[in-house]
């Protein structure tokens, strides 16, 4: 089983925003949606743009290059039923004030 890694604190990502972190040599996009934290593989499966720099709309993020939309909650590609285009999501937990992600 993969370990959880501390990424940041709950104060490092304001509500409705995202940040990019390197975790165990992987780049992860961390999102704060209404006080809940989510983690996605930061690279858009289509063109490789950083999803943490995407356009957030509620619990969705759109890649800045071609505007592909993904669920922040689970990485599902929302524009078509093409599971091979989903962004990988990672389990997140909050321990005290620390946000941890499992890779």
CB-based contacts of 24-32 (< 8 A; 24+ apart in sequence): 24/103, 26/103, 28/90, 28/101, 28/103, 29/54, 29/61, 30/92, 30/99, 30/101, 31/56, 31/61, 31/72
pLDDT at res. 47: 87
Split at pLDDT 50, 70, 90, the class of 1 is low
Average pLDDT of the segment spanning 83-87: 94
CATH T-level fold of 4-102: Rieske Iron-sulfur Protein (2.102.10)
Of the chain, the percentage scoring pLDDT greater than 70 comes to: 99
Q: Give mean pLDDT, residues 29-44.
A: 97
Q: For residue 98, what pLDDT band results from cuts at 50, 70 and 90?
A: very high
């Amino acid at each position: 089983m993969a370990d959880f890694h501390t990424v940041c604190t709950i104060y490092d990502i304001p509500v409705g925003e995202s940040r990019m972190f390197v975790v165990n040599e992987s780049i992860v996009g961390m999102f704060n949606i209404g006080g809940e934290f989510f983690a996605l593989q930061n690279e858009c499966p289509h063109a490789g743009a950083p999803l943490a720099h995407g356009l957030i709309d509620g619990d969705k993020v759109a890649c800045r290059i071609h505007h592909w939309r993904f669920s922040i909650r689970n990485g599902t590609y929302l524009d078509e039923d093409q599971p091979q285009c989903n962004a990988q999501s990672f389990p997140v937990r909050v321990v005290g004030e620390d946000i941890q992600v499992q890779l």
